[in-house]
Structure 1
Amino acid sequence: MFTGIDEVDWAALRHAYGSAEDVPGMLRGLASVDPAEREIALDGMYGAVHHQGDVYDSTLACVPFLFALAGREEVPDRGGIVELLVSIGGDGGAELLGGSYAMAHTAVRASAGEFARLVGDPDAGVRRAAAGAVVRFLDEPARVLGLLRERIMVERDDGVLLALTESLGLFARRHPGQAAGALDLLTTQSAPPYGPGLRIAALGQLAACAPDRLPADLVDTVVRLLRDRSERRPVTSDEPDRPDTNTLVGRLRRLRPSDEEGSQLLRTLHTALGSRVEDRIGLLCGQLTSPDPVDRCNAVWMSTKLFGEWRADYSEPVALIGAQLGADDDRLREAAVSALTGLVDIARPAADDLYTLVASRPDLWVQQWAHGLPSLGGPLKVLAQTGDPRAVPVLAEVLEGPAVPHDLGQVIPYMGRAATPLAPAFRRRLDELPLDSPESHERATSLLLALRVLHDRECVPGVLRLLLGTPEEARLRDVVVENSVRTLGSLGSAAQEAIPALRGLLEGEFAVAAADALWSLAADTSAVLPVLLRELTFGNARRRGAAADVLARLGPAAHPALPGLLPMTETGTVWERMAAACAIWRITAEPDPALPVLRGAWAENPYTRLTIAECIAAMGPTGAPLHDLLRAELSSVRRHQATSDGFGQGVFADEQLLRVCREALRGG
């Protein structure tokens, strides 16, 4: 297995953490009789030699030895070694990356015949890993399909059969001209007499490769199969005991779902269904009403990707997720809370269940951590994010407690006027903050946000104390000062006593924020405009964009800034161009210079769309040339911040964008 290993100059090779002189020890550890030593060795391979998928010269040097280990039946856990080889070899795109990635792909592909032999290995774990490897690296489609077909005929291990089914789908996607045979096998596997797990797996692959072969009653079929599978699933895992090592491999094993196979089956199907949102909602509802809590837990985790990526009416699945909050299973309850976090208005169908949990479990109001400040407990946070007024008395009680969560103020923007009674408690907490404590600086931002949203006019002395008294050397001083200035600005004329302090900030790094606040307090063009003009000329990109935002607020009074704003629409970053265009329109009321800039920014960066939509809404009828953008956004079923890899973020921001688009079209 290790012939020639000592002839390699490992010390001259590199991995993620420097010299690769420790790699021979890792390779030998993979063959150890001690399970813990094998796991530590595999963890080291992933952590250093193949760190986050990277390929080093030491990675390439390992490939022959890994193949030698994979081929020796006396070596335990060879399935993990085959998986490592597959990861090192990468996918078809590795060749496009060039360099060491292409070399690794070529090296693994050169020995792909070994994978063909391992498809029939006595070890089920090896057969499982080899099934996908032959499709990825053996460049003989007819032979590959023959190997898969032969193995399906004789295979008895359910895990290997599932891997073979996934490999058939991969084959169909890689070789569309020769996919018919693979699709026929998948169609056969999707029907009786095959078991429910294998049928779900086959349907998931068909959904991705040949949706025309799916049954008309797909959702009902899958839900029925899922429940049949749950009834057959053993209560205890038949996996062998594994060492409890403090490794990435060990941690991932402990974190994985209790029914990892079922989770993977459903994730594959949901991903393949893609934009068939109604089918996916129906499937989720079927899963969430399963008698099996494991199935329901898997469904909850499936929902997060769906909610984050696609727009739809989710009231039914959200209500069903809310019903899981009363489960005795801590894992299911925590999953439900996690899935509802950040949904804001969309989570309202779960509000009653959230309140029931919050009212019955005061121990969940605050989350204590071994390190760092306490945070707001998940159920209470989600209830507050829905804007439910029942959260207010509970938040008041938390504010009076000994350990105020550092992020409590962050839920206040969702509460609206219902949170007004909390203002005195937030003000008192701000007044009590020691100015020389790092923890105080972390808490200050959240408290200031709450007071800003609540427009608490009586907080001015406390905010000024923080603004003027935070030590220069404080780690978060910049954040504290900027948020203090913004809070004062939000209070308008009620904060007149802060004007001298704000004027003192007009020459430093907080100049734009101070100018913004001063304009709100006194509308003094002579004090504010020179500062903003200076920032347009000499500030960095962030400050130039911020200055443009403030100039937009000045309106016609900012006319002298036009010579500085116009070049920004052509040469700045997308954020600068957008800010400058909005400012030019608000200053001149002439839409023509702004329209093409806003259209370009909208297409270039989806994260600009909410701001641009707000600007179009403010334009009224003159924004009509851009209304096609708003209509197209409203007709899209995909969230505007969903990424190309299928993950979505910013559900709240997306819902805000849709609301503004509708309002703009009604007003225009």
Structure 2
Amino acid sequence: MYDDLDFAATGMPDLLRGLIDPDPAVRGMALDAMRNVGDLDDRMLATVPFLLEVLRTPGVPGRDGIAELLASIGAAGSWPFEVAGDDDDLGATVARIGQARQLIAGGDLLGLAADPDPWLRAAMPPLLTIREDDPRVAEVFTSRFGVETDGDARRALLDGLGRIAARTGDAGIVAHLLGVAAAAPEPSVAAAALIAAARADPVRVPLDGAAGLLERAYAEPAGFTTETVTSAVPEARRAPHAARMIDGLTDALGPRVADRVAILRELLRSPHADVAGDALLGAIKLVERWRGEHAEVIRAIGRRLSHPDPRVVGHTAATLRCWAPLTAVVAEPVAAALSTLDALPWRDGLPAWTVPSRSEPPGLHPTLDVLARLADERALPLLLTALELRQRPPDSGYLLARYPRHAERIVAAMLPVLSAPRAAGRHGIHVALQAFGVTAAPAVPWLLAAPLDDDAATTLGRIGPAAAEAVPALRAAATGDDARLAVAAAGALWRIEGSPAVLPLLAAHIDGPWGTAALAAIAELGAAAADAAPIVATVLGAPDGDRWRPMHAAVALWRMIGDADRTAPVLTAAWHGNPHTRNAIVAAVAGPSPAGPFTAGPLAAALVPLLRAESVDPRRYGARDRGWSSNQVTNDERLLAACRAALAGTGGVPA
């Protein structure tokens, strides 16, 4: 009935009836359908009074699921992240959340914390914590914990107390939780209390013996079930009620990076798959969201590369692939795992170090990816072989760009790929050729043999004067109707000829859809583009939600005329308003302007405090509890290195 989870087709009345159906399977599918609505619209809001009435009716099946659904509806901050649309849409949804929370808070639900149904009792604390301003909730949780016998309900009460303490800063609740953690006979209950306290006040939480406590919690007898310990490896989970406690505690400890490392290092060595799997998740959260000394944790993860199950090896390498340069400490076990794959026979025309796909060209095995991101010489022969495959892995070019010392050899292997304009991974090939600069000059005839596009134009520009034969084609493209290609071609002409005659061509696109690229190209002209300063300055205050265009305008103005007074405020606003601009800002302003070097000028005085604050911030820039980027760690490590290098060059510039 609910297999497709199609909310619009199923209809609200049927879904509501399904939530209280005697059949648990029907209830589960209806609940999934309600959860997959994706936005809190008026129809969903209208169900809240009905759901509250059902919740208060004894004996109705599925009340625990309804409590969980209501908690998700009223949870602050959960629904708005799923809203697609303009600010009006978001504002309307937030308003509906407020209405839902008011309905739930006025629903007279406190008595359900003592309901005869243990499943409902375990589901109630997240819902009751919506009444964050009601002191009775904490009192009910505390008194109920003293008489509660159900383990799930006891742990839920502790979690609820931790959420209240985190919101209110109630030190008395934290002290109570720490007392439970020290005295509870059940390891999982003690661990739950520790986690709840850490969410409220991570600094106060004692961690002596924490790893052992978690090991005992995962070993508690609770019957047998099978769950997915990691996204790739199904294993027996011994105590389902302890699932995610490891990453729950370590994540809650926040900036206590060294303590988190100590716990995870020990648990990653566990022979039990459930412990090691959850410790891996905790390690992922640590490395990807927090800065610090992660070598021990990464080495502990690297030991999984010798596991006999190839799925474990693949999943482990996939975890490591996005952490360069931190993965240098596990280069040897990664290389050993890759060597094992390379020794296997090919299958269906593909080596074992590729990953077949039904609808796409094959990918590269994560072990090869990890090693190549480190520019390790042992990966190079396999990447060159990848270029020759009939089904070429798209990432090959991007990874080969990391080997400029072997540019001549790599360029020669890439030339045949350029003859196939729609070849898989062709953009990556261009990225590599651009990285190799003048060494990629043999590619010029191949690039000109096909219709010119923006990738090819950019590549020709990066080759520089050695691509002079491309000038006629680039001039035609720079005045053509394709704005994206025109900007790329004009920038390429500057790099090849060095003539400021391209400035009007670039300036014509500042206000267009490729204005950011045009501004970046103008910045390369530097003082030669000074005549365009008034036009560029008009962009500084232009409305721009992601800050990229004003940031590029500020960088261009600095490079053109060294105007720190107008540049610094815009760059500072971009730095705070969009953390993803930070690498570009540091890279762009670290060099000299017509007014003098960054290291001694007024722009340095304005930006050095930002660089210093960044260099000591324990949190990775742009890190969020929701969302993820494959370049998050690499870009952050690059930013840290750039900030430190810039600071080292500023000498006595005051903070």
Q: What TM-score bracket applies, with the shorter chain setting the length?
A: 0.7 to 0.9
Tell whether the 8 Å contact from 2:461 to 2:492 is kept in structure 1 after alignment: yes
Tell whether the 8 Å contact from 1:257 to 1:263 is kept in structure 2 after alignment: no
What's the CA shift for 1:349?
Answer: 0.9
**Larger helix percent:** 1
How far apart, in 1, do the equivalents of 2:386 and 2:470 lie?
30
Paired residue for 1:42? 31
What's the CA shift for 1:128?
Answer: 0.9
Residue 335 of structure 2 aligns to a residue whose secondary structure is helix
Given candidates 564, 570, 583, the residue that maps to 2:535 is 564
Tell whether the 8 Å contact from 1:89 to 1:104 is kept in structure 2 after alignment: yes
Given candidates 43, 47, 56, the residue that maps to 2:41 is 56
Paired residue for 2:277? 297
1:505 aligns with 2:499: no
Q: Share of identical aligned residues, percent?
A: 32
Residue 613 of structure 2 aligns to a residue whose secondary structure is helix
Structure 1 segment 462-611 matched on structure 2, within 5 A: 462-468=446-452, 481-507=453-479, 508=481, 509=483, 510-526=485-501, 528-536=502-510, 539-540=511-512, 542-571=513-542, 573=544, 574-589=547-562, 591-611=564-584
How far apart, in 2, do the equivalents of 1:521 and 1:238 lie?
62
Tell whether the 8 Å contact from 1:549 to 1:579 is kept in structure 2 after alignment: yes
How far apart, in 2, do the equivalents of 1:275 and 1:530 lie?
50
1:325 aligns with 2:316: no
- Would the alpha carbon gap of residues 187 and 662 (structure 1) be closer, same or farther in structure 2, given more than 3 Å must change? closer
Supply the AA of the counterpart residue of 1:462.
Answer: W
Paired residue for 2:151? 158
What's the CA shift for 1:407?
Answer: 2.1
Paired residue for 2:85? none
Tell me the TM-score normalised to structure 2 length: 0.84
Q: CA RMSD in A?
A: 3.3
Q: Residues 342-400 of structure 1: CA distance to partner in whole angstroms, max 9, x if unpaired?
A: 21111111111111111112465222223333222222112211221111112122222
Aligned length: 608
Structure 1 segment 212-227 matched on structure 2, within 5 A: 213-215=204-206, 218=207, 220-227=208-215
- Would the alpha carbon gap of residues 585 and 46 (structure 1) be closer, same or farther in structure 2, given more than 3 Å must change? closer
Supply the AA of the counterpart residue of 2:97.
Answer: Y
Structure 1 segment 32-431 matched on structure 2, within 5 A: 32-47=21-36, 51-52=37-38, 54-71=39-56, 75-91=60-76, 99-113=95-109, 116-137=110-131, 140-142=134-136, 144-176=137-169, 180=172, 182-211=173-202, 213-215=204-206, 218=207, 220-233=208-221, 236-237=224-225, 258=237, 261-329=241-309, 332-362=312-342, 365-418=353-406, 421-431=409-419
Given candidates 420, 426, 451, the residue that maps to 2:433 is 451
How far apart, in 1, do the equivalents of 2:557 and 2:134 lie?
62
How far apart, in 2, do the equivalents of 1:413 and 1:543 lie?
25
What's the CA shift for 1:645?
Answer: 6.0
How far apart, in 1, do the equivalents of 2:168 and 2:591 lie?
52
Supply the AA of the counterpart residue of 1:504.
Answer: A
Given candidates 586, 600, 616, the residue that maps to 1:613 is 586
How far apart, in 2, do the equivalents of 1:161 and 1:238 lie?
24
1:25 aligns with 2:14: yes
- Would the alpha carbon gap of residues 604 and 170 (structure 1) be closer, same or farther in structure 2, given more than 3 Å must change? closer
- Would the alpha carbon gap of residues 320 and 134 (structure 1) be closer, same or farther in structure 2, given more than 3 Å must change? same
How far apart, in 1, do the equivalents of 2:355 and 2:79 lie?
44
Residue 377 of structure 2 aligns to a residue whose secondary structure is coil
- Would the alpha carbon gap of residues 330 and 121 (structure 1) be closer, same or farther in structure 2, given more than 3 Å must change? farther
More deviation, 252-261/65-74: 252-261
Supply the AA of the counterpart residue of 1:628.
Answer: P
1:661 aligns with 2:634: no
- Would the alpha carbon gap of residues 512 and 225 (structure 1) be closer, same or farther in structure 2, given more than 3 Å must change? same
Tell me the TM-score normalised to structure 1 length: 0.83
Tell whether the 8 Å contact from 1:208 to 1:272 is kept in structure 2 after alignment: yes
Q: Residues 390-438 of structure 1: CA distance to partner in whole angstroms, max 9, x if unpaired?
A: 111121222222321122212233344256533322222232x2x4xxx
Tell whether the 8 Å contact from 1:571 to 1:577 is kept in structure 2 after alignment: yes
Supply the AA of the counterpart residue of 1:466.
Answer: A
Residue 570 of structure 1 aligns to a residue whose secondary structure is coil
Tell whether the 8 Å contact from 2:214 to 2:245 is kept in structure 1 after alignment: no
What's the CA shift for 1:190?
Answer: 0.5
How far apart, in 1, do the equivalents of 2:284 and 2:295 lie?
14
How far apart, in 2, do the equivalents of 1:611 and 1:210 lie?
36
- Would the alpha carbon gap of residues 465 and 582 (structure 1) be closer, same or farther in structure 2, given more than 3 Å must change? same
Q: Residues 425-454 of structure 1: CA distance to partner in whole angstroms, max 9, x if unpaired?
A: 2222232x2x4xxxx265321222222223
Residue 505 of structure 2 aligns to a residue whose secondary structure is helix
How far apart, in 2, do the equivalents of 1:149 and 1:559 lie?
69
- Would the alpha carbon gap of residues 55 and 632 (structure 1) be closer, same or farther in structure 2, given more than 3 Å must change? closer
Residue 552 of structure 2 aligns to a residue whose secondary structure is helix
- Would the alpha carbon gap of residues 511 and 372 (structure 1) be closer, same or farther in structure 2, given more than 3 Å must change? same
Supply the AA of the counterpart residue of 1:492.
Answer: G
How far apart, in 2, do the equivalents of 1:149 and 1:591 lie?
58
How far apart, in 1, do the equivalents of 2:121 and 2:295 lie?
43
- Would the alpha carbon gap of residues 590 and 25 (structure 1) be closer, same or farther in structure 2, given more than 3 Å must change? closer
What's the CA shift for 1:160?
Answer: 2.0
What's the CA shift for 1:297?
Answer: 1.5
- Would the alpha carbon gap of residues 148 and 569 (structure 1) be closer, same or farther in structure 2, given more than 3 Å must change? closer
What's the CA shift for 1:522?
Answer: 1.8
Supply the AA of the counterpart residue of 1:614.
Answer: A
Structure 2 residues without counterparts, runs of 5 or longer: 81-90, 343-350, 651-655
Residue 535 of structure 1 aligns to a residue whose secondary structure is coil
More deviation, 345-354/334-343: 334-343
Q: Residues 116-170 of structure 1: CA distance to partner in whole angstroms, max 9, x if unpaired?
A: 343233433211101332332486523x344323432333332222111101212
